[in-house]
Amino acid sequence: MAIEVDTITIKAFIQARMSSARFPGKSLAPIQGVPMIERQIDRVAQAIPREDIVVLTSINKSDDPLTLYVESLGVHVYRGNLLDVFLRFSDALSAYPCDWFIRMSGDSPYFDPRVIELEIAQVHAHPEADLITNVQPRTFSPGCSAETVKAATFLNIDRGTLTEHEQEHVIPYFYNHPDRFRIINVESGNPELVKTILTVDTIEDLKRLERGGW
């Protein structure tokens, strides 16, 4: 059962895969002894019920280990298209219907759960919005990004009009056409946070974070 805000259902969709070109297998790479995806799930679960978290990965065989591990944690997994991530999210909404979904990348082991709380508060305050985001402009640390999207709006987008970049990165279509959507940005109040890089793109990033080098 999805979290409810005045009968509004919300799920967290964490996008993850094992075939990262810069850091293959990073979703299961241990950081301080715990696989990165598990760390992120645990942090997200501080703000939204664990049963409302879904890891969205691909049907490729390379993502079998990730699927098995996430399922062993008792967390839902949806498997879809590897490269057309927009399609993966659209199909996931059929399997896990909700009014809003929170989109996150699965390379954020130090994700701040307060971001979710802030965005859910904006859903409550502005139910007419299509997208609640904290990346336009960015005032939170990279690695604490979240985009809360109205599912009905997302499903009404014509995939045939998307560029390859928009298909792969899911949300840019909203930013590329701000006149078509009601977008609300959540800010941290501390622009200096953008200097604190908490995302993991490479093994060097993981080693730096393990050393506390942020």
In this predicted structure, the answer to whether residue 213 has a pLDDT above a threshold of 70 is: no
Q: Is the pLDDT assigned to residue 33 strictly greater than 70?
A: yes
User: How many whole angstroms separate alpha carbon 30 and alpha carbon 81?
Assistant: 26
CATH code for the domain of 122: 3.90.550.10
> Domain range for residue 127?
3-210
Instruction: Using pLDDT thresholds of 50, 70 and 90, give the confidence band for residue 7.
Output: confident
pLDDT of 2 reads 63
Q: Are 41 and 53 in contact (CB under 8 A)?
A: yes
- As to burial, measured by CB atoms within 10 angstroms (0-12 exposed, 13-18 middle, 19+ buried), residue 154 is buried
Determine the average pLDDT of the residues in 23-44. 96
pTM: 0.94
pLDDT value of residue 6: 57
Q: Report CA torsion sign: 150, 106, 92, 95.
A: negative
Closest alpha carbon to 197 in 144, 136, 137, 146? 144
Only one residue has tokens 């490729």, namely 60
- Other Cβ atoms closer than 10 A to 202: 13
| Number of domains within the chain | 1
Which of the pair, 79 or 5, is modelled with greater confidence? 79
